Amino acid sequence: MTKEYLIAANWKMNLTTHEASILVHHLEKSLKAYRDVEVVLAPSFVHLQPLHQQIDHRKFRLAAQNAYHKDSGAFTGEVSFTMLRHLVQYVIVGHSERRLYFNESLELIRDKVAAAVRNDISPILCVGETQQERRLGETKQVLHDQITTALSNLTSEDIENVVIAYEPVWAISTFGGELAKPADVQKEINFIRSQVAELYGKAAAEKIRVLYGGSVDQHTARGYLELKECNGALVGGASLQHHKFTRIVEAAHAVARESHGQ
């Protein structure tokens, strides 16, 4: 079966509007529109509208990095999923930086996932253990709690629009950037699917897209993308440099072609 990939660029709190526009300009020149690779850019809120105008929509889709779980109301400074509805296809939810720096709880992330789905936006739900949790042997428990809570308000139809990104916190470049071994990533991705199977059945677990994130760059990407159950990557640092990100997307296209026997 041909593999299809989702490669998402998480720019985090980087780039001015001008720099974001230049980066997209370079990416538009270097990237072809591949049918087997969906390329998603997640800039900051302020860049979404200008980039929506600028991008070639055959090549790129947009994601927000966060949103608020209520649709509207007196929540000064927040941006709702409703406001993003026609601007983005995806929203990153539950990134470890939001969990750790902004104290986002399991329940808040559950409400954000539900708000995304309610507004026809696919959540990219990030899950993953910290270095300490890993050392204590708590990885599976952490993943279980994060997944079970986050998905608990969804129907089996809703689940088809959810993407899960396995991002071990210790492997994220700005948290230490220890490289995760592909074989270990494979085990956790399998575990994530088993959790989805328990909640929504085997078919849903096979269908749901699971990405890997954590120091993915032009050198490491292939090792993760070749994993049988891995549907793509969430890329932080390396997505800010067009030549690096281009090579990651090209690696995904190459692996997809190989899986097709071409």
Which residues in this chain contact ligand PGA in the complex, by CB under 6 A? 10, 167, 172-173, 213-216, 234-238
For ligand PGA, the closer of residues 81 and 212 by Cβ is 212
- For residue 97, indicate whether it is catalytic: no
Q: How far is the CB of 167 from ligand PGA (least distance, A)?
A: 6
How far apart are the C-alpha atoms of 16 and 10, rounded to whole Å? 15
How far apart are the C-alpha atoms of 49 and 10, rounded to whole Å? 17
Q: How far is the CB of 96 from ligand PGA (least distance, A)?
A: 7
Which residue's structure tokens are 């993943």?
143
Map residue 234 onto helix, strand or coil.
strand
For ligand PGA, the closer of residues 86 and 243 by Cβ is 243
Selected catalytic residue, list 129, 167, 188, 250: 167
How far apart are the C-alpha atoms of 253 and 244, rounded to whole Å? 14
Instruction: With beta carbons less than 8 A apart as the criterion, state whether 92 and 64 touch.
Output: yes
Q: How far is the CB of 92 from ligand PGA (least distance, A)?
A: 8
Selected catalytic residue, list 47, 69, 95, 242: 95
- For residue 167, indicate whether it is catalytic: yes
Which residue's structure tokens are 């992330």?
109
For ligand PGA, the closer of residues 48 and 180 by Cβ is 180
Considering only the C-alpha atoms of the chain, give the largest distance between any 2 of them, rounded to a whole number of Å. Answer: 55
Catalytic site positions: 95, 167
